[in-house]
Amino acid sequence: MGLRSERGPVLLSVMLSAGLVAIDSTILATAVPAIVDDLGGFSQFPWLFSIYLLAQAVAVPIYGKLADIIGRKAIMLFGIGAFVLGSVLCGLAWSMPALIAFRAVQGLGAGAVQPMGMTIIGDIYTLAERAKVQGYLASVWAISAVVGPTLGGLFVDFLDWRWIFFVNVPLGAVAVWMLVRKFTEEQLTRTKHKIDYAGAVLLTVGGSLLIFGLLEGGVLWPWISWPSLAVLGGGVLLLISFALVERKAAEPILPGWIFSRRILNGANLVSLTVGVILIGLTSYVPLFAQGVLHTSALVAGFALAAMTIGWPLAASNSGRLYLWIGFRNTGLIGSVLVLAGAGLLFTLGVGSSIWVVALTCFLIGLGMGLVASPSLIAAQSTVGWQHRGVVTGANMFARSMGSAIGIAVFGAIANASLAGKGAIGSHGSTSSDVPPEVLAPAIHQVFIGSAVFAVLLVIAVLIIPRKIETDESVQ
Protein backbone atom coordinates (compact mmCIF):
# COMPACT_ATOMS: atom_id res chain seq x y z
CA MET A 1 0.00 0.00 0.00
CA GLY A 2 1.19 3.52 -0.74
CA LEU A 3 2.58 5.57 2.15
CA ARG A 4 -0.17 7.76 3.59
CA SER A 5 2.17 10.81 3.88
CA GLU A 6 2.70 10.74 0.11
CA ARG A 7 -0.94 10.45 -0.91
CA GLY A 8 -1.23 13.98 -2.32
CA PRO A 9 1.61 13.65 -4.86
CA VAL A 10 0.48 10.13 -5.73
CA LEU A 11 -3.06 11.38 -6.39
CA LEU A 12 -1.66 14.17 -8.58
CA SER A 13 0.38 11.62 -10.52
CA VAL A 14 -2.70 9.43 -11.03
CA MET A 15 -4.68 12.48 -12.17
CA LEU A 16 -1.94 13.43 -14.66
CA SER A 17 -1.90 9.86 -15.98
CA ALA A 18 -5.69 9.85 -16.30
CA GLY A 19 -5.40 13.22 -18.05
CA LEU A 20 -3.20 11.64 -20.72
CA VAL A 21 -5.95 9.17 -21.61
CA ALA A 22 -8.80 11.65 -21.16
CA ILE A 23 -7.32 14.40 -23.36
CA ASP A 24 -6.34 11.86 -26.01
CA SER A 25 -9.97 10.71 -26.25
CA THR A 26 -11.15 14.23 -27.17
CA ILE A 27 -8.20 15.90 -28.89
CA LEU A 28 -7.91 13.50 -31.85
CA ALA A 29 -11.38 14.09 -33.28
CA THR A 30 -10.61 17.74 -34.06
CA ALA A 31 -7.46 16.78 -35.97
CA VAL A 32 -8.91 14.02 -38.18
CA PRO A 33 -9.46 16.28 -41.24
CA ALA A 34 -5.86 17.53 -41.07
CA ILE A 35 -4.53 13.99 -40.61
CA VAL A 36 -6.48 12.72 -43.61
CA ASP A 37 -5.27 15.67 -45.72
CA ASP A 38 -1.68 14.83 -44.81
CA LEU A 39 -1.65 11.02 -44.76
CA GLY A 40 -4.67 10.12 -46.89
CA GLY A 41 -6.72 7.02 -46.06
CA PHE A 42 -10.11 8.64 -45.47
CA SER A 43 -11.89 5.28 -45.50
CA GLN A 44 -9.49 3.96 -42.84
CA PHE A 45 -9.62 6.79 -40.29
CA PRO A 46 -12.42 5.25 -38.12
CA TRP A 47 -9.85 2.61 -37.22
CA LEU A 48 -7.90 5.29 -35.34
CA PHE A 49 -10.64 5.03 -32.70
CA SER A 50 -11.64 1.37 -33.09
CA ILE A 51 -8.14 -0.12 -32.73
CA TYR A 52 -7.49 2.02 -29.66
CA LEU A 53 -10.70 0.85 -27.96
CA LEU A 54 -10.00 -2.74 -28.96
CA ALA A 55 -6.45 -2.81 -27.55
CA GLN A 56 -7.51 -1.03 -24.38
CA ALA A 57 -10.47 -3.30 -23.67
CA VAL A 58 -8.76 -6.68 -24.04
CA ALA A 59 -5.71 -5.62 -22.00
CA VAL A 60 -7.57 -4.33 -18.93
CA PRO A 61 -8.37 -7.63 -17.15
CA ILE A 62 -4.85 -8.96 -17.81
CA TYR A 63 -3.27 -5.87 -16.27
CA GLY A 64 -5.65 -6.17 -13.32
CA LYS A 65 -4.45 -9.70 -12.58
CA LEU A 66 -0.77 -8.82 -13.03
CA ALA A 67 -1.18 -5.89 -10.63
CA ASP A 68 -2.30 -8.31 -7.92
CA ILE A 69 0.82 -10.41 -8.55
CA ILE A 70 3.65 -7.89 -9.03
CA GLY A 71 2.09 -4.68 -7.68
CA ARG A 72 0.34 -1.59 -9.03
CA LYS A 73 3.40 0.61 -9.47
CA ALA A 74 5.12 -1.56 -12.08
CA ILE A 75 1.96 -1.94 -14.17
CA MET A 76 1.16 1.79 -13.94
CA LEU A 77 4.68 2.76 -15.03
CA PHE A 78 4.50 0.27 -17.90
CA GLY A 79 1.14 1.70 -18.97
CA ILE A 80 2.37 5.30 -18.96
CA GLY A 81 5.53 4.27 -20.82
CA ALA A 82 3.59 2.36 -23.48
CA PHE A 83 1.16 5.25 -23.90
CA VAL A 84 3.96 7.82 -24.30
CA LEU A 85 5.88 5.53 -26.68
CA GLY A 86 2.74 5.07 -28.76
CA SER A 87 2.23 8.84 -28.75
CA VAL A 88 5.74 9.51 -30.07
CA LEU A 89 5.30 6.87 -32.76
CA CYS A 90 1.91 8.35 -33.73
CA GLY A 91 3.55 11.78 -34.05
CA LEU A 92 6.15 10.28 -36.39
CA ALA A 93 3.67 8.22 -38.44
CA TRP A 94 4.25 8.31 -42.21
CA SER A 95 0.98 6.71 -43.36
CA MET A 96 -2.51 5.97 -42.12
CA PRO A 97 -1.82 2.22 -41.58
CA ALA A 98 1.26 3.14 -39.52
CA LEU A 99 -0.75 5.62 -37.46
CA ILE A 100 -3.44 3.00 -36.84
CA ALA A 101 -0.79 0.48 -35.69
CA PHE A 102 0.76 3.01 -33.31
CA ARG A 103 -2.68 3.88 -31.93
CA ALA A 104 -2.88 0.22 -30.85
CA VAL A 105 0.28 0.76 -28.79
CA GLN A 106 -1.38 3.78 -27.17
CA GLY A 107 -4.45 1.66 -26.42
CA LEU A 108 -2.34 -1.00 -24.69
CA GLY A 109 -0.90 1.72 -22.47
CA ALA A 110 -4.31 3.23 -21.71
CA GLY A 111 -5.56 -0.23 -20.73
CA ALA A 112 -3.13 -0.15 -17.81
CA VAL A 113 -3.44 3.51 -16.82
CA GLN A 114 -7.20 3.67 -16.21
CA PRO A 115 -7.74 0.61 -13.97
CA MET A 116 -4.42 1.03 -12.17
CA GLY A 117 -5.24 4.62 -11.28
CA MET A 118 -8.54 3.55 -9.72
CA THR A 119 -6.90 0.58 -7.98
CA ILE A 120 -4.16 2.77 -6.47
CA ILE A 121 -6.81 5.16 -5.16
CA GLY A 122 -8.60 2.17 -3.63
CA ASP A 123 -5.35 1.14 -1.94
CA ILE A 124 -4.29 4.43 -0.35
CA TYR A 125 -7.62 6.05 0.58
CA THR A 126 -10.20 4.84 3.08
CA LEU A 127 -13.76 3.98 2.16
CA ALA A 128 -15.00 7.30 3.53
CA GLU A 129 -12.43 9.29 1.53
CA ARG A 130 -12.63 7.40 -1.72
CA ALA A 131 -15.72 8.98 -3.29
CA LYS A 132 -14.31 12.52 -2.99
CA VAL A 133 -11.04 11.37 -4.57
CA GLN A 134 -12.93 9.55 -7.35
CA GLY A 135 -14.64 12.90 -7.93
CA TYR A 136 -11.21 14.46 -8.48
CA LEU A 137 -10.47 11.80 -11.10
CA ALA A 138 -13.84 12.43 -12.75
CA SER A 139 -13.04 16.15 -12.86
CA VAL A 140 -10.02 15.32 -15.03
CA TRP A 141 -12.42 14.06 -17.69
CA ALA A 142 -14.57 17.17 -17.30
CA ILE A 143 -11.57 19.45 -17.84
CA SER A 144 -10.36 17.32 -20.74
CA ALA A 145 -13.76 17.62 -22.45
CA VAL A 146 -13.02 21.34 -22.83
CA VAL A 147 -9.21 21.37 -23.05
CA GLY A 148 -8.91 18.51 -25.56
CA PRO A 149 -10.88 20.00 -28.48
CA THR A 150 -9.41 23.44 -27.77
CA LEU A 151 -5.82 22.19 -27.85
CA GLY A 152 -6.55 20.10 -30.92
CA GLY A 153 -7.87 23.13 -32.78
CA LEU A 154 -4.91 25.28 -31.73
CA PHE A 155 -2.33 22.68 -32.75
CA VAL A 156 -3.98 22.08 -36.12
CA ASP A 157 -4.45 25.79 -36.87
CA PHE A 158 -1.11 27.15 -35.65
CA LEU A 159 1.36 24.24 -35.42
CA ASP A 160 0.89 20.74 -36.82
CA TRP A 161 -1.49 17.86 -36.08
CA ARG A 162 1.46 15.77 -34.86
CA TRP A 163 1.68 17.94 -31.74
CA ILE A 164 -1.57 16.44 -30.43
CA PHE A 165 0.54 13.34 -29.75
CA PHE A 166 3.83 14.97 -28.77
CA VAL A 167 2.13 16.95 -25.99
CA ASN A 168 1.74 13.65 -24.10
CA VAL A 169 5.52 13.33 -23.63
CA PRO A 170 6.07 16.04 -20.96
CA LEU A 171 2.82 15.13 -19.17
CA GLY A 172 3.82 11.48 -19.06
CA ALA A 173 7.33 12.33 -17.88
CA VAL A 174 6.01 14.36 -14.93
CA ALA A 175 3.55 11.59 -13.99
CA VAL A 176 6.32 8.95 -14.05
CA TRP A 177 8.70 11.15 -12.02
CA MET A 178 6.13 11.75 -9.28
CA LEU A 179 5.04 8.11 -9.18
CA VAL A 180 8.61 6.83 -8.91
CA ARG A 181 9.55 9.27 -6.15
CA LYS A 182 6.36 9.38 -4.11
CA PHE A 183 4.59 6.04 -4.42
CA THR A 184 5.92 3.20 -2.28
CA GLU A 185 4.19 -0.15 -2.02
CA GLU A 186 4.62 -2.57 0.83
CA GLN A 187 7.08 -5.34 0.09
CA LEU A 188 5.21 -8.09 -1.73
CA THR A 189 5.50 -11.60 -0.41
CA ARG A 190 8.00 -13.45 -2.57
CA THR A 191 6.05 -16.40 -3.86
CA LYS A 192 6.33 -18.22 -7.13
CA HIS A 193 3.36 -17.40 -9.36
CA LYS A 194 2.05 -19.41 -12.29
CA ILE A 195 1.11 -17.02 -15.10
CA ASP A 196 -2.06 -18.05 -16.91
CA TYR A 197 -0.66 -17.74 -20.45
CA ALA A 198 -3.38 -19.87 -22.05
CA GLY A 199 -6.10 -17.78 -20.45
CA ALA A 200 -4.39 -14.54 -21.49
CA VAL A 201 -4.17 -15.62 -25.13
CA LEU A 202 -7.76 -16.89 -25.27
CA LEU A 203 -9.11 -13.75 -23.61
CA THR A 204 -7.09 -11.45 -25.86
CA VAL A 205 -7.97 -13.16 -29.14
CA GLY A 206 -11.56 -14.01 -28.20
CA GLY A 207 -12.24 -10.56 -26.77
CA SER A 208 -10.62 -8.90 -29.79
CA LEU A 209 -12.77 -10.87 -32.24
CA LEU A 210 -15.96 -10.17 -30.31
CA ILE A 211 -15.32 -6.43 -29.96
CA PHE A 212 -14.08 -6.23 -33.56
CA GLY A 213 -17.27 -7.90 -34.76
CA LEU A 214 -19.43 -5.52 -32.73
CA LEU A 215 -17.52 -2.45 -33.92
CA GLU A 216 -17.45 -3.34 -37.61
CA GLY A 217 -20.74 -5.23 -38.02
CA GLY A 218 -22.91 -3.29 -40.43
CA VAL A 219 -19.85 -1.28 -41.51
CA LEU A 220 -17.32 -3.61 -43.13
CA TRP A 221 -19.95 -6.28 -43.73
CA PRO A 222 -23.70 -6.83 -43.16
CA TRP A 223 -24.73 -8.16 -39.75
CA ILE A 224 -26.23 -11.26 -41.33
CA SER A 225 -23.29 -12.48 -43.38
CA TRP A 226 -20.60 -15.14 -43.23
CA PRO A 227 -17.80 -12.75 -42.16
CA SER A 228 -19.97 -11.40 -39.33
CA LEU A 229 -20.99 -14.86 -38.14
CA ALA A 230 -17.39 -16.13 -38.39
CA VAL A 231 -15.88 -13.24 -36.41
CA LEU A 232 -18.57 -13.05 -33.71
CA GLY A 233 -18.95 -16.83 -33.50
CA GLY A 234 -15.19 -17.32 -33.28
CA GLY A 235 -14.98 -14.74 -30.51
CA VAL A 236 -17.77 -16.41 -28.52
CA LEU A 237 -16.21 -19.88 -28.90
CA LEU A 238 -12.80 -18.63 -27.75
CA LEU A 239 -14.33 -16.88 -24.73
CA ILE A 240 -16.16 -20.11 -23.83
CA SER A 241 -12.82 -21.90 -24.09
CA PHE A 242 -11.33 -19.18 -21.89
CA ALA A 243 -13.98 -19.82 -19.23
CA LEU A 244 -13.21 -23.58 -19.30
CA VAL A 245 -9.45 -22.98 -19.02
CA GLU A 246 -9.93 -20.56 -16.12
CA ARG A 247 -11.71 -23.25 -14.10
CA LYS A 248 -8.52 -25.33 -14.04
CA ALA A 249 -5.88 -22.58 -13.95
CA ALA A 250 -3.82 -22.25 -10.77
CA GLU A 251 -4.01 -18.43 -10.85
CA PRO A 252 -6.75 -17.50 -13.34
CA ILE A 253 -6.94 -14.02 -14.86
CA LEU A 254 -10.64 -13.83 -14.03
CA PRO A 255 -11.29 -16.17 -11.06
CA GLY A 256 -14.67 -17.86 -10.89
CA TRP A 257 -15.56 -16.16 -7.61
CA ILE A 258 -15.86 -12.83 -9.46
CA PHE A 259 -19.01 -14.17 -11.13
CA SER A 260 -20.39 -15.84 -8.00
CA ARG A 261 -20.70 -12.73 -5.82
CA ARG A 262 -23.86 -10.68 -6.13
CA ILE A 263 -22.13 -7.38 -5.40
CA LEU A 264 -19.55 -7.90 -8.14
CA ASN A 265 -22.14 -9.05 -10.69
CA GLY A 266 -24.26 -5.99 -9.93
CA ALA A 267 -21.32 -3.57 -10.10
CA ASN A 268 -20.06 -5.06 -13.37
CA LEU A 269 -23.53 -4.93 -14.94
CA VAL A 270 -23.79 -1.29 -13.83
CA SER A 271 -20.42 -0.60 -15.49
CA LEU A 272 -21.46 -2.32 -18.72
CA THR A 273 -24.73 -0.36 -18.87
CA VAL A 274 -22.93 2.90 -18.13
CA GLY A 275 -20.61 2.15 -21.06
CA VAL A 276 -23.58 1.66 -23.39
CA ILE A 277 -25.33 4.88 -22.36
CA LEU A 278 -22.13 6.95 -22.46
CA ILE A 279 -21.23 5.90 -25.99
CA GLY A 280 -24.76 6.69 -27.11
CA LEU A 281 -24.57 10.21 -25.68
CA THR A 282 -21.04 11.01 -26.84
CA SER A 283 -21.74 9.71 -30.36
CA TYR A 284 -25.22 11.07 -31.06
CA VAL A 285 -25.78 14.18 -28.92
CA PRO A 286 -23.14 16.18 -30.91
CA LEU A 287 -24.59 14.76 -34.14
CA PHE A 288 -28.07 15.89 -33.07
CA ALA A 289 -26.82 19.35 -32.09
CA GLN A 290 -24.97 19.89 -35.37
CA GLY A 291 -27.11 17.98 -37.86
CA VAL A 292 -30.57 18.83 -36.46
CA LEU A 293 -30.14 22.06 -34.47
CA HIS A 294 -27.43 23.43 -36.82
CA THR A 295 -25.04 24.48 -34.06
CA SER A 296 -21.27 24.65 -34.52
CA ALA A 297 -19.06 21.74 -33.50
CA LEU A 298 -17.75 23.84 -30.60
CA VAL A 299 -21.23 24.55 -29.22
CA ALA A 300 -22.20 20.90 -29.62
CA GLY A 301 -19.07 19.89 -27.71
CA PHE A 302 -19.84 22.26 -24.86
CA ALA A 303 -23.42 20.92 -24.63
CA LEU A 304 -22.03 17.40 -24.18
CA ALA A 305 -19.43 18.74 -21.73
CA ALA A 306 -22.33 19.57 -19.38
CA MET A 307 -22.47 15.85 -18.63
CA THR A 308 -18.80 15.74 -17.65
CA ILE A 309 -19.40 18.69 -15.34
CA GLY A 310 -22.34 17.06 -13.57
CA TRP A 311 -20.49 13.76 -13.14
CA PRO A 312 -17.60 14.95 -10.89
CA LEU A 313 -19.91 17.26 -8.95
CA ALA A 314 -22.07 14.29 -7.96
CA ALA A 315 -19.20 11.81 -7.59
CA SER A 316 -17.20 14.02 -5.23
CA ASN A 317 -20.21 14.37 -2.91
CA SER A 318 -21.45 10.78 -3.16
CA GLY A 319 -19.26 9.62 -0.25
CA ARG A 320 -21.35 11.33 2.39
CA LEU A 321 -24.46 9.93 0.74
CA TYR A 322 -23.43 6.28 0.54
CA LEU A 323 -22.02 6.35 4.08
CA TRP A 324 -25.43 7.61 5.21
CA ILE A 325 -27.92 5.61 3.12
CA GLY A 326 -25.73 2.86 1.64
CA PHE A 327 -24.26 2.04 -1.77
CA ARG A 328 -27.43 0.62 -3.33
CA ASN A 329 -29.70 3.51 -2.33
CA THR A 330 -27.11 6.00 -3.60
CA GLY A 331 -26.92 4.10 -6.87
CA LEU A 332 -30.71 4.01 -7.13
CA ILE A 333 -30.90 7.79 -6.82
CA GLY A 334 -28.27 8.10 -9.54
CA SER A 335 -29.90 5.59 -11.87
CA VAL A 336 -33.29 7.30 -11.51
CA LEU A 337 -31.64 10.62 -12.44
CA VAL A 338 -30.12 8.94 -15.51
CA LEU A 339 -33.55 7.53 -16.39
CA ALA A 340 -35.11 10.99 -15.98
CA GLY A 341 -32.45 12.50 -18.23
CA ALA A 342 -33.01 9.78 -20.81
CA GLY A 343 -36.71 10.61 -20.64
CA LEU A 344 -35.94 14.27 -21.37
CA LEU A 345 -34.13 13.13 -24.51
CA PHE A 346 -37.57 12.15 -25.84
CA THR A 347 -38.62 15.81 -25.83
CA LEU A 348 -35.79 16.91 -28.14
CA GLY A 349 -36.78 17.78 -31.68
CA VAL A 350 -36.00 20.05 -34.61
CA GLY A 351 -37.09 23.13 -32.69
CA SER A 352 -35.34 22.32 -29.39
CA SER A 353 -32.95 24.72 -27.70
CA ILE A 354 -29.31 23.72 -27.29
CA TRP A 355 -29.70 24.77 -23.63
CA VAL A 356 -32.24 21.97 -23.14
CA VAL A 357 -29.74 19.52 -24.64
CA ALA A 358 -27.06 20.75 -22.22
CA LEU A 359 -29.46 20.54 -19.25
CA THR A 360 -30.36 16.97 -20.19
CA CYS A 361 -26.68 16.00 -20.40
CA PHE A 362 -25.99 17.68 -17.06
CA LEU A 363 -28.80 15.70 -15.38
CA ILE A 364 -27.50 12.42 -16.80
CA GLY A 365 -24.00 13.39 -15.63
CA LEU A 366 -25.29 13.92 -12.08
CA GLY A 367 -26.87 10.48 -12.17
CA MET A 368 -23.72 8.85 -13.50
CA GLY A 369 -21.69 10.41 -10.71
CA LEU A 370 -23.97 8.80 -8.12
CA VAL A 371 -24.02 5.35 -9.70
CA ALA A 372 -20.70 4.69 -11.51
CA SER A 373 -18.15 5.63 -8.85
CA PRO A 374 -20.09 4.30 -5.81
CA SER A 375 -20.70 0.92 -7.48
CA LEU A 376 -16.99 0.53 -8.26
CA ILE A 377 -16.04 1.59 -4.71
CA ALA A 378 -18.56 -0.91 -3.33
CA ALA A 379 -16.97 -3.70 -5.36
CA GLN A 380 -13.44 -2.70 -4.34
CA SER A 381 -14.38 -2.51 -0.67
CA THR A 382 -15.40 -6.18 -0.51
CA VAL A 383 -11.92 -7.52 -1.31
CA GLY A 384 -8.44 -7.05 0.09
CA TRP A 385 -5.31 -5.72 -1.64
CA GLN A 386 -4.49 -9.06 -3.27
CA HIS A 387 -7.73 -9.09 -5.30
CA ARG A 388 -8.51 -5.40 -5.81
CA GLY A 389 -6.65 -5.20 -9.14
CA VAL A 390 -8.56 -8.03 -10.76
CA VAL A 391 -11.90 -6.68 -9.45
CA THR A 392 -11.17 -3.21 -10.83
CA GLY A 393 -9.95 -4.67 -14.13
CA ALA A 394 -13.11 -6.73 -14.55
CA ASN A 395 -15.22 -3.64 -13.88
CA MET A 396 -13.34 -1.56 -16.47
CA PHE A 397 -13.53 -4.42 -18.99
CA ALA A 398 -17.31 -4.48 -18.54
CA ARG A 399 -17.49 -0.77 -19.36
CA SER A 400 -15.36 -1.27 -22.50
CA MET A 401 -17.64 -4.11 -23.60
CA GLY A 402 -20.60 -1.82 -22.98
CA SER A 403 -19.08 0.80 -25.27
CA ALA A 404 -18.58 -1.76 -28.03
CA ILE A 405 -22.14 -3.06 -27.61
CA GLY A 406 -23.48 0.49 -27.61
CA ILE A 407 -21.68 1.41 -30.83
CA ALA A 408 -23.11 -1.69 -32.53
CA VAL A 409 -26.68 -1.38 -31.22
CA PHE A 410 -27.10 2.37 -31.68
CA GLY A 411 -25.40 2.34 -35.07
CA ALA A 412 -27.75 -0.38 -36.27
CA ILE A 413 -30.79 1.52 -34.94
CA ALA A 414 -29.80 4.81 -36.59
CA ASN A 415 -28.84 3.21 -39.91
CA ALA A 416 -32.07 1.21 -40.06
CA SER A 417 -34.12 4.37 -39.52
CA LEU A 418 -32.19 6.31 -42.18
CA ALA A 419 -32.36 3.43 -44.66
CA GLY A 420 -36.11 3.15 -44.10
CA LYS A 421 -36.50 6.78 -45.17
CA GLY A 422 -34.14 6.39 -48.11
CA ALA A 423 -31.55 8.67 -46.53
CA ILE A 424 -28.62 6.28 -46.84
CA GLY A 425 -27.41 6.15 -50.38
CA SER A 426 -29.61 8.94 -51.69
CA HIS A 427 -28.50 11.76 -49.46
CA GLY A 428 -24.97 10.65 -48.71
CA SER A 429 -23.30 9.37 -45.55
CA THR A 430 -22.62 12.55 -43.60
CA SER A 431 -24.99 14.35 -41.25
CA SER A 432 -24.77 17.58 -43.28
CA ASP A 433 -26.22 15.74 -46.30
CA VAL A 434 -29.22 14.35 -44.41
CA PRO A 435 -32.18 16.74 -43.91
CA PRO A 436 -32.94 17.53 -40.23
CA GLU A 437 -36.47 16.17 -40.56
CA VAL A 438 -34.94 12.80 -41.57
CA LEU A 439 -31.97 12.80 -39.18
CA ALA A 440 -34.02 13.82 -36.11
CA PRO A 441 -36.28 10.70 -36.07
CA ALA A 442 -33.24 8.44 -36.57
CA ILE A 443 -31.45 9.92 -33.57
CA HIS A 444 -34.73 9.87 -31.64
CA GLN A 445 -34.71 6.07 -32.05
CA VAL A 446 -31.23 6.04 -30.51
CA PHE A 447 -32.53 8.11 -27.59
CA ILE A 448 -35.30 5.53 -27.09
CA GLY A 449 -32.59 2.84 -26.98
CA SER A 450 -30.72 4.89 -24.38
CA ALA A 451 -33.86 5.01 -22.24
CA VAL A 452 -34.18 1.22 -22.44
CA PHE A 453 -30.63 0.82 -21.18
CA ALA A 454 -31.35 3.39 -18.46
CA VAL A 455 -34.10 1.05 -17.23
CA LEU A 456 -31.56 -1.80 -17.27
CA LEU A 457 -29.24 0.43 -15.22
CA VAL A 458 -31.90 0.68 -12.49
CA ILE A 459 -32.26 -3.13 -12.53
CA ALA A 460 -28.46 -3.55 -12.35
CA VAL A 461 -28.32 -1.35 -9.24
CA LEU A 462 -31.09 -3.42 -7.62
CA ILE A 463 -28.85 -6.51 -7.99
CA ILE A 464 -26.37 -4.92 -5.56
CA PRO A 465 -27.17 -6.12 -1.99
CA ARG A 466 -28.57 -3.67 0.55
CA LYS A 467 -25.89 -4.64 3.07
CA ILE A 468 -22.31 -5.04 1.85
CA GLU A 469 -19.64 -6.78 3.91
CA THR A 470 -16.45 -4.77 3.48
CA ASP A 471 -12.94 -6.16 3.85
CA GLU A 472 -11.36 -4.86 7.05
CA SER A 473 -8.10 -3.99 5.31
CA VAL A 474 -9.73 -1.29 3.20
CA GLN A 475 -11.25 0.71 6.07
Using alpha carbons, select from 303, 291, 218, 295 the residue that is nearest to residue 438. Answer: 291
Is it the case that residue 216 has pLDDT exceeding 90? no
E-assigned strand segments in 289-340? none
Quick: pLDDT tens for 282-302: 778 877 887 778 877 667 777
Whether the full predicted model's pTM is greater than 0.85, yes or no, is no
Least confident of 23-27, 41-45, 340-344, 395-399: 41-45
Per-residue model confidence (pLDDT) at position 430: 43
Confidence of residue 475 (pLDDT cuts 50, 70, 90): very low
Is it the case that residue 241 has pLDDT exceeding 70? yes
Q: What is the dihedral of CA 263, 205, 120, 109, to 10 degrees?
A: -150
Q: How far is CA 53 from CA 35, 164, 405, in A?
A: 19, 18, 12
Handedness of CA 35, 60, 126, 368 (dihedral sign): positive
Per-residue model confidence (pLDDT) at position 338: 93
Q: How far is CA 124 from CA 5, 140, 330, in A?
A: 10, 19, 23
Task: Identify the residue with better confidence: 34 or 462.
Answer: 462
Confidence of residue 70 (pLDDT cuts 50, 70, 90): confident
Strand, helix or coil for residue 471:
coil
Task: Identify the residue with better confidence: 329 or 251.
Answer: 329
CA count, 13 A, side-chain hemisphere, 456: 17
d(CA 406, CA 188): 40
Specify whether the CB–CB gap between 327 and 319 falls below 8 A: no
Specify whether the CB–CB gap between 414 and 292 falls below 8 A: no
Least confident of 124-128, 216-220, 222-226, 471-475: 471-475
Quick: pLDDT tens for 300-345: 777 777 887 788 788 777 877 888 888 888 889 999 999 999 888 8
Q: Rounded mean pLDDT of 247-274?
A: 81
Specify whether the CB–CB gap between 185 and 33 falls below 8 A: no
Q: Rounded mean pLDDT of 207-227?
A: 77
Of the ranges 129-138, 160-169, 403-412, which is most confident? Answer: 160-169
What residues have CB less than 8 Å from 470, skipping those under 6 apart?
127, 381, 382
Least confident of 29-33, 187-191, 229-233: 187-191
Is it the case that residue 7 has pLDDT exceeding 60? yes
Mean pLDDT, rounded, of the chain? 78
Work out the widest C-alpha separation in the chain, in whole angstroms. Answer: 66
Residue 218 region by backbone torsions, left for phi larger than 0, else alpha for psi between -120 and 50, else beta:
left
Quick: pLDDT tens for 363-422: 998 998 889 888 888 888 887 767 777 788 788 888 878 877 787 778 777 777 776 655
* Structural domains of the chain in order of their starting residue, each with its CATH number: 1-183 (1.20.1250.20), 197-250 (no CATH), 256-475 (1.20.1250.20)
Q: How many contiguous H segments (helices) and E segments (strands) does the chain have?
A: 16, 0
Specify whether the CB–CB gap between 122 and 392 falls below 8 A: yes
Per-residue model confidence (pLDDT) at position 472: 43
d(CA 76, CA 114): 9
Is it the case that residue 5 has pLDDT exceeding 50? no
